[in-house]
Amino acid sequence: MSRHVREKDKTLTPVLILGTVVLAVCILICVSYVIDLRKRYIQDTENNFRQHMDMAGLVIEQSFDQMLQNTTAAANRLEQLEKESTDVDRIQRILLEYRNVNNLDEMIYVKKNGMTYFYEEQPYFAMSEKQLDAIIVDQTIITISNDNVVDDTNGIVVVSAPVHDGDGTQIGSVVSVKTLNGILQNHSFAYLRDSGQMFLIGKEGYVYDLAVTQERQIKSKETNFFVRLRSMSKGSTANKQRIQTLKNKTLASNVVTGKLKGADGADLYVIVDKIDTDMSLYLAECYSEEVFAGRLTPIVNRSILVCVLIFILMALVIAFMWNHMKRTSDTIRKLAYMDSITKGKNFNYFLEKAILIIKDNQEIPYLVQRFDISNFRYINEAYGHIKADELLTVIIMEGEKVFGSKELIVRMNADQFVLLVQNSADYLNRFAIFEDNVNMRALELGIKFPIRLKSGIYQVRRDDYDINVMVDRANVARKSLSAKSKEMYAYYSDRIINDMRKIEKIESEQQTALINGEFKVYLQPKWDINKDKLYGAEALVRWIKDDGNMVYPDTFIPVFENNGFIEQLDFYMLDQVCAEIRKLLDEGKPAFPISVNQSRRLWDNPEYVENVERILRKYDIPSHYVDLEVTETVFFGERDKMIEIITQLKQKEVLLSMDDFGSGYSSLNLLKDIPFDILKIDKDFFSESITSNSSILILTKIIEMAEGLGIHVLCEGVETKEQVHLLRDIGCQYVQGYFYSKPIPLNDFIQKYVS
């Protein structure tokens, strides 16, 4: 079974592999698509931010430029005015005018002596010495600082431009102030503020727009951007290093980008863009991956969905294929393990399953039993093979009823069965019940012939592992029961092993024995009891060994019939007999018919008739001196072919005897259909039945009928005078038996009976 399961597994494996590969490829494509998309989003987002930062940088530069231009223009106007008058009103108007152009937070005019003009109030000495030193510088300066001039939280941009008198000597400076807040309110910064955090930072990372950033609710009031970055990200060493590199690079290049792990675990991206080289002013933007992650999530989800769908689809396909293959392989397995005739399990199944049962139930003693149906040939012959097949099926059906789940019964071939059965005290009883049931069912089928099962039984031992060996041994035991034996079962035993050895010995010697002439013809007379004289003789083989020991045919004939050597032996006997007849004829002595036993195997040879004819021709003897004895079993099976052979033999005019009639399942039909000359009633039938009146009646009728058909009847095994009388009374003319003589060597026979 396992072999078929493995085969099924093998066919499924490529499907599974293919499925897994397809799935893996799909997942890979999805994953790489998502990764690629993420990269693109990162890049897009960065580009987007950088565009906005460029714009924002431009806005800042423009505001600075405008402040510079405006302040310079105001300074020029004041220079003009100073040449004409120093009217405070006019100064205030100019200051207001230019302050409004730029929407500045403050525009003042500071004279060298410290007098400071405001657009909204009267001038006064508002500046300290130190402040004057910083302001009265003869060049236009722009600075950015956090000097809490306007309020204490916002950075400011301060521009101062010199004002000269007619000689070109500086008399003061115009100073304009604008809060960074004022600049950064521009909508150009909206995106940078809304999508992340924007910082305006100076050299070393000083954050100028603290107020702006604080509006964005940044917890730390830390004024250094890089320190602040640390608190925004996880304080890991990797992050620290990254921040440090960012800081270093900021000094060196125009745009620097970096990535940190944010405190919330999401990636934090940083872009630092230099705006103004003179003032070392930078715009910095920090944004979390959430900016694009939101857009990525549905795509990732969709990809996962696609993978899951593909997976489900694959699983369905594989499940379908698996199911289909399982069904196919189940059918194949069923067929592979099914016996075509009985529809039960077959021998292959037995071989695989029996050993498993034995292994799994080591505590149970098991028997392996091989059995067949006695004279199944006859059932085939008499009832036809359809009925015979039905009988085989019945055996399996009844067997499966009687023998349980831990037991097994199968048909091997023909009428051969094998059974694995638990050995128990009632085991033979169970087998008898099984046999009875079979007989009952056979009767229902119309088979009136008793079904007898011949078994060879092997007792399974603990160390047995080869089921074939066990079956073979059971078979050896079965074969040890001879066809004629009344024993219906035999155990595999030492005796049987012994017998096997004997068989092997016989087989090893057979050929040399034949060449050396160890097979001798013995003759037993056939007596005509009406005329009380010799009628003929039967040739019976004896094996006289070198040492003079005599072996009887019962020992070796079954062996030769089994191995085919019988063909050589039977022709040798026929040859010897014909030679003797020739000799008698040559010597002018009265010859008599001599019968020779012909084993059924000889008839299987298509050249049989020809071979017989060749011997007859070789010795050139009238064929009616030769009598061929065959048993009725010859006609079981291919009856028509056998009748054909018989007809051919009859044409050669040899005599034909049906041997052992009444020992088996003699069919009277045979007598009608087949032209025998002599019907030999078996000695067993005769000795056993002769005492009962009905048997005598049957015998009388058989003799009457046979003689009516022109067939002579000869009774074998006649041992007493009484038997001779009785046989004579019921019309039997020919007898053979110890009463007249045992089989004796050919020469002795000639001496005794031929004068």
Residues 565-624 interacting with Ca ion (rule: CB under 5 A): 597
CB 273 within 8 A of CB 254: yes
SS3 636: coil
Minimal distance, residue 672 CB to ligand C2E, in Å: 23
Q: Does 554 bind ligand C2E (CB under 6 A)?
A: yes
Distance of CA 553 to the CA centre of its chain: 57
H or E element, residue 106: strand 106-111
Regarding 666 and contact with Ca ion (CB under 5 A), the answer is: no
> How near is the Cβ of 342 to ligand C2E at its closest, in Å?
34
Parallel, antiparallel, or unpaired for β 156-164 and 712-715?
unpaired
Per CB under 5 A, which region of 245-253, 560-568, 609-617, 657-665 contacts Ca ion? Answer: 657-665
Residues 6+ apart with CB under 8 A from 261: 233, 234, 236, 238, 239, 267, 268
Task: Provide the mask over 262-301, with x wherever binding to Ca ion is found by CB under 5 A and - wherever it is not.
Answer: ----------------------------------------
Beta-carbon-side half-sphere exposure of residue 45 (alpha carbons within 13 Å): 25
Interaction of residue 60 with ligand C2E, rule CB under 6 A: no
**284 with 26: CB under 8 angstroms?**
no
Euclidean distance between CA atoms 73 and 87, whole angstroms: 18
| Nearer to ligand C2E among residue 566 and residue 711 (C-beta) | 566
Q: Which of residues 628-667 bind ligand C2E (CB under 6 A)?
A: 659-660
According to the binding rule CB under 6 A, does residue 398 interact with ligand C2E? no
657 binds, options Ca ion, ligand C2E, none, Cβ within 5 to 8 A by partner type: none
Residue list 687-726, contact with Ca ion (CB under 5 A): 716
Q: Count Cα neighbours of 740 within 13 Å in the Cβ-side half-sphere.
A: 28
517: β partners? none
Q: Decide which of ligand C2E, Ca ion, none touches 580; Cβ closer than 5 to 8 Å per partner kind.
A: none
Minimum distance from CB of 687 to ligand C2E (Å)? 8
Q: Which residue is nearest to ligand C2E (CB)?
A: 737
Which of 660, 703, 733, 735: binder of Ca ion (CB under 5 A)? 660
Question: Which region holds residue 614: left if phi is over 0, alpha if psi is between -120 and 50, else beta?
Answer: alpha
Q: Does 561 sit near Ca ion (CB under 5 A)?
A: no
Q: Residue 527: beta bridge partners?
A: 534, 735
The yes or no reply on residue 627 touching Ca ion (CB under 5 A) is no
The answer to whether the beta carbons of residues 446 and 361 sit under 8 Å apart is no
| Token couple for 98 | 């230019």
Q: Give me the least distance between CB of 538 and Ca ion, in Å please.
A: 5
Please report whether residue 748 would count as binding ligand C2E according to CB under 6 A. Answer: no
Beta bridge partners of 256: 272
Helix residue spans in 337-371 (DSSP H): 347-360
Using CB under 6 A as the binding rule, the residues of this chain from 666 to 705 that contact ligand C2E are 683
Output the DSSP codes for 297-345: HHHHHHHHHHHHHHHHHHHHHHHHHHHHHHHHHHHHHHHHTB-TTTSSB
- Of 441 and 683, the one with the shorter C-beta distance to Ca ion is 683
Q: At closest approach, how far in Å is the CB of 628 from Ca ion? A: 10
* Partner whose binding site includes residue 557, from Ca ion, ligand C2E, none (CB under 5 to 8 Å by kind): ligand C2E
Q: Is 632 in the site for Ca ion (CB under 5 A)?
A: no
From the list 175, 506, 541, 591, which residue makes contact with ligand C2E (rule: CB under 6 A)? Answer: 541
Please state the closest distance from residue 656 (CB atom) to ligand C2E, in A.
14
By the 10 Å C-beta count (0-12 exposed, 13-18 middle, 19+ buried), 487 is classed as exposed
Residue 367 CB, nearest approach to ligand C2E (Å): 33
| 202 versus 737: smaller Cβ distance to ligand C2E | 737
The SS3 of residue 105 is: coil
Stretch that binds ligand C2E, among 34-42, 203-211, 463-471, 731-739 (CB under 6 A): 731-739
Nearest residue to 65 via CA among 178, 192, 207, 231: 178
Residues from 711 through 730 that contact ligand C2E (CB under 6 A): 717-719
Q: Which does 552 bind (CB under 5 to 8 A by kind): Ca ion, ligand C2E, none?
A: ligand C2E
Query: Smallest distance, Å, CB 519 to ligand C2E?
Result: 8
Between 597 and 733, CB nearer to Ca ion: 597
The DSSP H or E segment spanning 143 is strand 141-145
Count residues near ligand C2E (CB under 6 A): 22
Q: Is 627 in the site for ligand C2E (CB under 6 A)?
A: no
Candidate list 275, 659, 702, 711; residue touching Ca ion; CB under 5 A: 659
Q: Is 566 in the site for ligand C2E (CB under 6 A)?
A: yes
How does DSSP assign 40-74, residue by residue? HHHHHHHHHHHHHHHHHHHHHHHHHHHHHHHHHHH
Closest CA to 535 of 596, 581, 594: 594
**Residues lying near Ca ion in the complex (CB under 5 A):** 597, 629, 659-660, 716
**Residues lying near ligand C2E in the complex (CB under 6 A):** 524, 540-541, 552-554, 557, 566, 570, 573, 597, 599, 659-660, 683, 717-719, 736-738, 743
